[in-house]
Structures are given as structure tokens and as C-alpha cells.
């Protein structure tokens, strides 16, 4: 199992977390393989996937040190602990649950709770959350990142929901440290087209790099 800071570093370096909501374990595995080929740093297996715990366990063993496997749609500390024992290296939640953050800190595992307000961001940081999942991102668009980082420049924000190839650069330029991409990247799995997923993952990573360079060059 990787060190907490290694996991966070790899996620921030790539900037892409792929949110997997598959119909079955086999589909989840094929999406993971496709995303690995495309250069994604992390896969988030959501607990809406049938047999999610088993999927995480199998992927964690098969792709150890190749791609980071995390658990998503975690609603409580009990599920978080099960996911960690199965090999998940980070935990993502759609909302802020204090006990889940405490559990992750206890075992020194990155926790990414869902937030949407300045109050939520401050509370999550006070509890020791590492990267804050701005969710649902499509509710406000990239401007929400810039708005939050105005008074809270120290916040590490990762939008999820509404992130696409067309706007990923805007999210990064607004100040996101990474993005969570789901359906906009993995939709072709429904038709068995995994090559497109690899191609899109590669394009996402490239656009993130380009946006970071532009941001650094502009000094914003």
C-alpha cells in the first residue's frame, strides 16, 4: 500500500481521477485497463457498482503500483473501512461526513469529501480532509473554484460532475488541483468501446498539462 502523500502526489501530478459507475465488475475492470493505457493516475470505484468491494480488492491486487484504486460514493465510516481493508488507497464521498474523515485520518488514507459552500470547505479543512471534492460541479461551473479560492487560496479543490474534455482546461485554470471525470470519459463502455476511453483519458491528461502551463505562464 502506498504512502498517503505518495497517493496525493500522484493524483495531483496527473490531475485526473476517473469515476467508474459500471454495470458489473467485468466492465469496471475493462474501464480501469483502458484508463491506465490513457495515463490516468487514479480510478474511483463507486459503491453504486455491483460488488464494489470485490472489484476494489481484485483491481488493487492486479494493478498494484500501476494505477491508484480508490473507493467512491462512500456515505459512512463503516463502508470506508470495508473499502480500505479491500485495498482502496483513497476515499471519496459525495458529502461531508465527519466520522469518515476521522477514520481516514486514523489510518492515514486520503479523504475527499464532497463540498459546495465556503462553510463546507472550511469545515472539511479543519477536520483534516486532503482534497475537497466540489460536487456537483455542473451546478455552478468552473467559476465556483475561483470564487472559493478567493477567500480560501489554501484549499485543494477537485470538481466532479460536469467536467468534460471541452471545459477541463477552464477548471484547471480556475484553480482546481485535479478533476473527477465520469460519464464524459467512460460512456463508450456501454457499447464495449474501450479504445475511445483510453483516447479520451489521454486527451484529458494532455489538456490538464496544457492548462497548467498556460496558468503558470500567465501568473494567475
Q: Give yes or no: 44 in active site.
A: yes
Q: Give yes or no: 133 in active site.
A: yes
Pick the catalytic residue from 29, 133, 173, 207.
133
The answer to whether residues 73 and 99 touch, using CB atoms and an 8 Å cutoff, is no
CA distance 73 to 188: 22
List all residues 6 or more positions away from 189 whose beta carbon is below 8 Å from its beta carbon: 22, 27, 30, 31, 34, 197
Q: How far is CA 14 from the centre of its chain?
A: 11
List all residues 6 or more positions away from 95 whose beta carbon is below 8 Å from its beta carbon: 75, 113, 114
Pick the catalytic residue from 33, 44, 58, 89.
44
CA distances, 109 to each of 73, 183, 184, 192, 208 (Å)? 16, 26, 28, 33, 25
List all residues 6 or more positions away from 195 whose beta carbon is below 8 Å from its beta carbon: 34
CA distance 8 to 129: 12
Nearest one of 178, 167, 186 to 42, comparing CA atoms:
178
> Catalytic residue positions?
44, 133
Amino acid at each position: 500500500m502506498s504512502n498517503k502523500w505518495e497517493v496525493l502526489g500522484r493524483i495531483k501530478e496527473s490531475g485526473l481521477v476517473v469515476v467508474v459507475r459500471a454495470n458489473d465488475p467485468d466492465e469496471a475492470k475493462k474501464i480501469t485497463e483502458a484508463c491506465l493505457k490513457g495515463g490516468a493516475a487514479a480510478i474511483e470505484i463507486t459503491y453504486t457498482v455491483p460488488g464494489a468491494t470485490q472489484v476494489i480488492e481484485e483491481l488493487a491486487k492486479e494493478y498494484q503500483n500501476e494505477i491508484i484504486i480508490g473507493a467512491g460514493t462512500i456515505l459512512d465510516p463503516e463502508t470506508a473501512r470495508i473499502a480500505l481493508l479491500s485495498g482502496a488507497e483513497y476515499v471519496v464521498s459525495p458529502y461531508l461526513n465527519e466520522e469518515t474523515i476521522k477514520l481516514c485520518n486514523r489510518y492515514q488514507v486520503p479523504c475527499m469529501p464532497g463540498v459546495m459552500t465556503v462553510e463546507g470547505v472550511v469545515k472539511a479543512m479543519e477536520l483534516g480532509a486532503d482534497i475537497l471534492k466540489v460536487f456537483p460541479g455542473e451546478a455552478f461551473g468552473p467559476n465556483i473554484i475561483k470564487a472559493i479560492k478567493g477567500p480560501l487560496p489554501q484549499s485543494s479543490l477537485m470538481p466532479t460532475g460536469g467536467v468534460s474534455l471541452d471545459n477541463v482546461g477552464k477548471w484547471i485554470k480556475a484553480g482546481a488541483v485535479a478533476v473527477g471525470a465520469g460519464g464524459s470519459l467512460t460512456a463508450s463502455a456501454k457499447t464495449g468501446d474501450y479504445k475511445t476511453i483510453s483516447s479520451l483519458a489521454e486527451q484529458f491528461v494532455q489538456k490538464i498539462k496544457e492548462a497548467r502551463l498556460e496558468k503558470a505562464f500567465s501568473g494567475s
